[in-house]
Structure 1
């Protein structure tokens, strides 16, 4: 065995340990999906406060039934109670696995927020006595410094809904500091009514009407666009499936399946590119370089505001891309000129239709798999760290940077690496279908969150399918770009609904 292969073997083992450790660590990390569901619920609660003009009322009633539902507050209460129950189960599980985990603190903070809001939803349902008991139980069971603000909030809310009411001196500031969105509106409305502050109450109601109208528009967007795409995707999959049954090898699904790539390099080059150029650069080199720089400059990235975090994420991905593509170039340099169809980018073909069709087809497949996957992981398993930042972000500059990172840089780099290089390289050792599956698995694992492996592998299969049929990286890049852009748009809309 040559020294190069020995070194490559050691680096491969190191990579397996690093990646395996990251996946294991992600088991106890919360998914973003539960938060997304709560953000959508909050948006629905805002929408219920909209009081349209009389001529629009019939249309609003139809909209309410289709998007908001008959009893949004009741559904919201059930949603919050379900998330609370799941958070408690996860907390008990994590306390057994990692007694000192940061996730425990996050879950406890989430439980505090949920219990306060559940009380407000109970009052909306006319269950005032239950709400008072919820807040009283919270006050009695939480006395640490970490929950002191929430305890004060619970005392304020309990006073407002007690009989007779008790208004604490700091009631308004406590509500404004610790509640947001529809929940803040409900608490402040109660306070202003009790204080007979009609002018402030009218101003609050007018502001809520504006927010509620915007919420209706946002709900329509996040419901209609995916709904149309989902319907179109199902129809497209059925049409393509029927065509394949009747036309076989002449169908669209079978296009280019008989055309093989000529792969002049072996498994050693494949490992070299991915072990050195992707996993070690991303998991070891980039974090190490940034860590050293920040230590010298005495900077803590955890203290960055959202704009600096956006630049930090872009810089991280820029170094990963530069390192990965450099390793790819020097690994393949001795094989130049490359055989036909390698890293093919052709603007003159129908790549746009392939990319768009792939996106529409991926929607029903990934959504179905994600729904099943969510039940399996019960809110745990981690998520892309970029998603929570984008969800809670309101800065337009940061949004542009996130878009450049997620919807342009990521699709270009990842498609070059996984579809442009890895997938065709694997066909030297296995069938095209197996190469699509294995490259999709590596694509999913590279995102370092164990709960996302199955949904991302499903997306990777569609990306691989589109690339192998179109033989054009532009098609899979477009699909990838559309997918990430749709995710960012949904996050922005849902996040803006919490204000």
Structure 2
């Protein structure tokens, strides 16, 4: 007995081959429903044969354009170098920070002087005696300078991300190359000081003169006046105050008129307008002269001389873009003044002739 169902009347009898065809048409994985594997790569895109093209240029023209972004590295936007900074160094904020360091220097001095008096340093135990003693006067000033300078060497390189002397535009090579001209400027200032002393002499018993009368004080003042004092005074007035005021002037003009500031030069140093440099030099010279005013009892002649000398130092600093250059002029000028006193008093032996 057959187990297959009998075919219905009138229905065509299905053969095994027709069943196979039906299963193949419904099976997506059958060989009939899958595309043939690509032929072996011959170096020529499909549809393009050497016979159908005239040259390799035609083949390249027929290829689809390459995606330009496909060859860019991942995170290329974030890996791009940052835009150059337009920050002017130093600016007014840096001057304020320097002032804070000066305050710390004063605090350190006020702490050390009483300690020295407690131990009777140099045989002095009273503050009134220390006020007129050149060792305490110069010593306390040197301590203040040292604390301020040490703090500057630590703080400002962290803020500027460059060495301290680079930030204040020291540029010692420029000073060495122009040494002859710098000495000439110092000679000019010395000549003006001689004329000023004849036309508008200062007081005969100024506080600075009293310091000279102590034994050995003149030589200590000589050394201090041609080394320590010029360096720190130039650092404060021509290294910080002068360039920051020039930058502040140009910034103010830009805010009021919309005139853009001059760009940084190739060494990232600021460039200023002529009015900015003139105004900044005048403003810088006033506190410079006032700082020395007490030494000459606020006499008009020495005060005007200090204004003139400061303007010359500002001009040297701005013209050469070198703080070392203005420091050389300052130190040379002081050296000439002390040398003139040295010759006039017989080696500081006859200080009554000052």
2:115 maps to which residue? 293
Question: 1:165-218 CA deviation, whole Å, 9 max, x = no partner?
Answer: xxxxxxxxxxxxxxxxxxxxxxxxxxxxxxxxxxxxxxxxxxxxxxxxxxxxxx
Instruction: Report 1:324-335 matches (<5 A).
Output: 324-332=148-156, 333-335=158-160
SS across alignment from 1:427 = helix
Flag the structure with larger Rg.
2
1:489 maps to which residue? 339
1 CA distance for matches of 2:284 and 2:96? 13
1:96 maps to which residue? none
2:101 maps to which residue? 277
Structure (1 or 2) with the greater helix fraction:
1
1:358 maps to which residue? 185
Please tell me the root mean square deviation across aligned C-alpha atoms, in Å: 3.4
Residue 312 in 1 paired to residue 312 in 2?
no
Residue 423 in 1 paired to residue 242 in 2?
yes
1:447 maps to which residue? 292
1:20 maps to which residue? none
Q: Summarize the Cα distance change of 1:327–1:372 in structure 2 as closer, same or farther, 3 Å threshold.
A: farther
CA contact (8 A) 1:419 1:473 kept: yes
CA contact (8 A) 1:294 1:300 kept: no
CA contact (8 A) 2:90 2:240 kept: no
1 CA distance for matches of 2:100 and 2:223? 25
CA contact (8 A) 2:169 2:323 kept: no
CA contact (8 A) 1:345 1:472 kept: yes
CA contact (8 A) 2:91 2:248 kept: no
State the Cα distance separating 1:356 from its structure 2 match: 0.5
- Scaled by the length of structure 2, the TM-score of the pair is 0.54
Point out where structure 2 has 5 or more consecutive residues left out of the alignment: 1-85, 250-275
SS across alignment from 1:447 = helix
SS across alignment from 1:289 = helix
- Scaled by the length of structure 1, the TM-score of the pair is 0.39
Residue 474 in 1 paired to residue 343 in 2?
no
Instruction: Report 1:139-288 matches (<5 A).
Output: 263-264=88-89, 266-273=91-98, 275-278=99-102, 280=103, 284-285=106-107, 288=110
Question: 1:125-170 CA deviation, whole Å, 9 max, x = no partner?
Answer: xxxxxxxxxxxxxxxxxxxxxxxxxxxxxxxxxxxxxxxxxxxxxx
State the Cα distance separating 1:277 from its structure 2 match: 3.4
State the Cα distance separating 1:355 from its structure 2 match: 2.2
Q: Which has the higher contact order (CA 8 A, sep 6+)?
A: 1
1 CA distance for matches of 2:303 and 2:151? 26
1:438 maps to which residue? 283
